[in-house]
Amino acid sequence: MLFKLSLKNIKKSFKDYAIYFFTLILGVAIFYVFNAIDSQTVLLDVTRDTRELIKLMTNMLSGVSVFVSLILGFLIIYASRFLMKRRNKEFGIYLTLGMSKRKISMILFFETFIIGLLSLIVGLGVGVLISQFMSLLVANMFEADLTEFAFTFSSSACIKTLIYFGIMYVLVMIFNTINVSKCKLIDLLHGSKKSEQVKLKNPLFCTLLFIISACILGYAYYLVTGGFETMANATDIFLPIILGTISTFLIFWSLSGLLLTIITRVKKFYYKALNSFTLRQISSKINTTVFSMSVICLMLFITICVLSSALSIKNSMTANLKTLVPVDVQFTKTRYLNEEANTTADSNIPLHETLKLLEFDMETNLKDVIEIDIYDLGLNFKDTLGNYYEEVYRKYPFMNYDVKEDFIKLSDYNRLARLYGLEEYTLEEHEYIVVADYKELVTIRNEAVKRNIPLVIQDEKYYPKYETCKNGFLFMNSTHSNSGFFIVPDRALEGQKISISMLNANYKANDDLEKKEIEERITVQLENHPYIKETTLKTYTKIQLYETSVGLGQW
């Protein structure tokens, strides 16, 4: 009998249950999709590096899904409480007719169980369909080959969804039972007539608080936009976050008082019919939902910021690849030629000799080969700033000023610039050029060269040729991260210590398939060769950097 009554109540209150029902469907579908990505993407034809990025993404989304389940649990409880309030009078009539609270709890149990079971079945069906489109989206994000794509069902994601959803629904049922047991007949019959208490009784105070909160929120937004450059370290970001959170809450908390103050000034409108009563009821509702409105607002803010930032970063990184990754492969090797360092036999030979010892055939695989050396003259960032150092230190006290500066021969740089498609330069006997593209450091170095700071190399002074840094880079990357290096005449670096050897080249390939074959040959052969343990050789390829950039751009 109770079960039949529950079915009739669901049909009768279908409009009330509709929002609750669709909320549950959406929550179940999202939870399934987040946890099914791993099985959906396993069939994608991607490289090993991309596979690792997808694995990292699925692990992160699995963690996010737990957070989503908690939010969904609170949402279900809130919706359940809302539905119970709308049916207070109905429950009161049941009690008046002699029905016990235990039976009312059983009716609620059957109703929530039926709605939950239906929403779970429908939600899983929707989630399975959406997950297929999600796999296509992931494939597009990582530019994967879809030839092996097939319709799949993730049993692990389904089981996980059933477990989490079951736990949440058990908690909702317990919550409903407790609420029914605490109900009083008079509260149930007259609950809809009872007005909520207006907690903020001083409208003028609320108005003042609203204005102050709005100013604080505006300052918080300034800190994360125009004032971001003034932050000395990463922890400073917590200040605008805290200010924004508190001010958002206070804005909603004071909103009812602000509305009362504004509307009461309009006497004709305020005292017309039941407007004064309605306004106070609206204000009381705002007071009782301050926390939920604040949380929703902050969650929307975070979502918008994350999505817009991710798209901006992705587009920026993708655009940078065209200029910052100009060749197919770049080999680098650290050189230890000073007696104090722990040297190996390989550190004293050129980079191309190392590749021969690794049995890599350059003639067969590479073309446009450019090999250069980068020098360490013992000068650090502080030395190259000269008398400008004290001023910079006061402004940026947390910067590392002991980092060694890199020097390169003019002839080597020009050969590399031709390969990279960058500007070539000329120098007089005692001139140097600073090349950088990292915005923050460019500003500092520009001021240093404007002051004509000299560099002492082998007891000779060299002065900047230009009053600004020149744009350029040595190492391939997906972002503008070159903090600066120095181009000097070849004679200045004769006999100096080599710190890094670099070899840049393109693949001898006619199409993308041949490039991938050479890429695989490089990574597998070099990583598995026994001699790799004897050298500090590192390999960076255009394909690897592109895939990494595409993957990281999704966050």
Do 358 and 531 contact (CB within 8 A), yes or no?
Answer: yes
Spell out the domain ranges in the chain.
Answer: 1-194, 195-324, 326-552
Question: Contacts for 261-266 with beta carbons within 8 Å, 24 or more apart?
Answer: 261/203, 261/204, 261/206, 261/207, 264/203
- At residue 230's C-alpha, the angle toward residues 227 and 236, to 5°, is 90
417 by Cβ neighbours in 10 Å (0-12 / 13-18 / 19+) ranks as middle
Rounded distance between C-alpha atoms, residue 326 and residue 420, angstroms? 6
Question: 249 φ, ψ to 5°?
Answer: -60, -45
pLDDT, position 189 = 59
Rounded distance between C-alpha atoms, residue 555 and residue 546, angstroms? 15
Q: What is the mean pLDDT of the chain?
A: 76
- For residue 461, the one-letter residue type is K
Contacts of 471 (CB under 8 A, 6+ apart): 422, 423, 435, 436, 437
- For residue 24, the one-letter residue type is L
pLDDT, position 553 = 45
The torsion defined by the Cα of 380, 382, 384 and 385, in degrees rounded to 10, comes to 160
Rounded distance between C-alpha atoms, residue 330 and residue 446, angstroms? 29
Rounded distance between C-alpha atoms, residue 42 and residue 63, angstroms? 19
CA 505 to centroid of chain Cα atoms: 33
- Residue 106: Cβ within 10 Å count: 18
pTM above 0.75, yes or no: no
Q: What is the pLDDT of residues 285-316, one digit of tens each?
A: 555 566 656 665 665 565 555 555 555 555 66
- Residue 305: Cβ within 10 Å count: 11
Question: 431 φ, ψ to 5°?
Answer: -120, 155
Cα–Cα distances (Å) from 499 to 65, 338, 377, 405, 437, in that order, read 47, 10, 9, 10, 21
pLDDT, position 425 = 95
Rounded distance between C-alpha atoms, residue 238 and residue 398, angstroms? 18
Rounded distance between C-alpha atoms, residue 416 and residue 173, angstroms? 70
| DSSP letter, residue 328 | S
Do 287 and 199 contact (CB within 8 A), yes or no?
Answer: yes
- For residue 148, the one-letter residue type is E
Give one DSSP letter per residue of 202-215, joined into a string: -HHHHHHHHHHHHH
Do 417 and 467 contact (CB within 8 A), yes or no?
Answer: no
Rounded distance between C-alpha atoms, residue 470 and residue 473, angstroms? 10
Rounded distance between C-alpha atoms, residue 228 and residue 439, angstroms? 14
**In the chain, what's the furthest Cα-to-Cα distance?**
106
For residues 499-536, one letter each, b for 16 or more C-beta atoms within 10 angstroms of the residue's C-beta and e for the rest, the string is bbbbbbbbbbbeeeeebeebbeebbeebeeeeebeebb
pLDDT, position 59 = 61
Return the structure tokens found at 82: 């809302």
Rounded distance between C-alpha atoms, residue 493 and residue 409, angstroms? 7
pLDDT, position 369 = 94
Do 432 and 462 contact (CB within 8 A), yes or no?
Answer: yes
pLDDT, position 68 = 62
pLDDT tens string, the chain, 555 residues long: the values are 666 666 666 666 666 667 667 777 877 887 777 777 666 544 455 555 555 555 655 565 566 566 666 666 666 666 666 666 666 667 777 777 777 777 777 777 777 777 778 888 888 888 888 877 766 665 555 555 555 556 677 777 788 888 877 777 777 777 777 776 666 666 565 555 554 454 445 667 777 888 898 898 888 777 766 555 555 454 565 677 778 778 887 887 777 666 666 766 677 766 676 666 666 666 555 555 666 566 656 655 655 555 555 555 556 666 677 788 899 999 999 886 555 555 567 888 899 999 999 988 899 999 999 999 999 998 999 999 988 999 999 888 888 899 999 999 999 999 999 999 999 999 999 999 999 998 889 999 999 999 999 999 988 999 999 999 999 999 998 778 889 999 999 999 998 989 999 999 999 988 878 888 888 888 888 888 889 888 889 999 988 887 666 544 444
pLDDT, position 373 = 94
Rounded distance between C-alpha atoms, residue 547 and residue 49, angstroms? 7
pLDDT, position 186 = 60
Name the residue among 408, 374, 388 with its Cα closest to residue 454.
Answer: 388
- Residue 446: Cβ within 10 Å count: 16
Rounded distance between C-alpha atoms, residue 453 and residue 388, angstroms? 8
Cα–Cα distances (Å) from 153 to 116, 135, 137, 250, in that order, read 22, 12, 17, 46
459 by Cβ neighbours in 10 Å (0-12 / 13-18 / 19+) ranks as exposed
